[in-house]
Amino acid sequence: MNDKPKFDKRNARSHEATNDAWSTLMALAKLISVNETTGTLTIQNGKSRLVLRQDGVITVEGESIRQLAARNIVLDAGVIDLN
């Protein structure tokens, strides 16, 4: 899975773009982990973390969490617990 695509001398410029994209993809893959036992997917970058569980629970963690919207932000839940 970590093997880079083979180099094609006839199209070196395309290879540079592919190599850069591959490096970017590999850097992104290092931020993602999957727990195969629980099926939990975690994306972590420094102090920020997003956890997606199979049961539908999503956890967002960070020093500061911002929501920006050009229109409405709608919260629809059985209970909304603010602190």
Ramachandran area for residue 75 (φ above 0: left; ψ -120 to 50: alpha; else beta): beta
The predicted-structure confidence for 16-64, as pLDDT tens digits, reads as follows: 667 788 899 999 999 999 999 999 999 999 999 999 999 999 999 999 9
pLDDT > 80? residue 3: no
State the Cα–Cα distance between residues 64 and 50, nearest whole angstrom: 13
Torsion angles phi and psi, residue 82, rounded to 5: -105, 100
Residue in the structure block whose two tokens are 């420094």:
46
Q: Tell me what pLDDT residue 68 has.
A: 92
Domain ranges within the chain, ordered by starting residue: 1-30, 34-83
